[in-house]
Amino acid sequence: MQNQITFQFISEPGDVNYGGKVHGGAVMKWIDQTAYACATSWAEGYCVTLYVGGIRFFKPIHIGDLVKIVARVIYTGNTSIHISCDVFSRKITEHKFIKTTHCVIVFVAVNEKGESKPSKKWEPHTDHEIALEKYAIRLMELRKGIEQEMKPFLENYF
C-alpha cells in the first residue's frame, strides 16, 4: 500500500508575490492539495483537514522553477492521518532540488454523513519512517499545550 504521493510542476507568473517570488499562499495551496491526495489515497475515501501546523518556509521559490511536493503518511491514529509535506524547487536547468518548505497536516477520514471513520493503521518499517512517526507523536504532544494556550481565544468574542 502506497503511503506517499509526489506532485511536480513549474511555478507560474500568477503565483508571484510583491517581492517577485512565489507567494506563500500559493505554496500552502500546493501543500494542501498534495497532502489531501495522499490522505484520501490512504483512506480510500474523502478526508477533511483537521490541523495544519508548523509550516516553515526555508527558501524562496522563483517563477519558472520546477517544484516538487512530497506528501507521506507518517502516523495514523484511530481516525487521523498525519501527513508530512516537503516542498522542493530547482531551476529547470539544474539537477539538484533544494528543500524550501516543510509542514505536517492532520486529516480525518469521513463517511458520507461527514462523520469521522476509522483510519487504516500505518506501520513504519525503516529507521527513517520510525523517526517520522516519533516526530508526529511529539508534535501531537506539543499541540496539546498550544491548544491550552489558544483556548481563551477560540471562543467567540464578537
Task: List, in order of start, the domains of the chain with CATH numbers.
Answer: 4-122 (3.10.129.10)
Q: DSSP string spanning 68-110?
A: EEEEEEEEE-SSEEEEEEEEEEE-TT----EEEEEEEEEEEEB
Q: Is 18 helix (H, G, I), strand (E, B) or coil?
A: coil
Please write the tens of the pLDDT for every residue from 27-58: 999 999 999 999 999 999 999 999 997 899 99
Residue 1 is predicted with a pLDDT of 53
- pTM here is 0.90
Residue 32 is predicted with a pLDDT of 95
Please write the tens of the pLDDT for every residue from 129-138: 999 999 999 9
Residue 3 is predicted with a pLDDT of 93
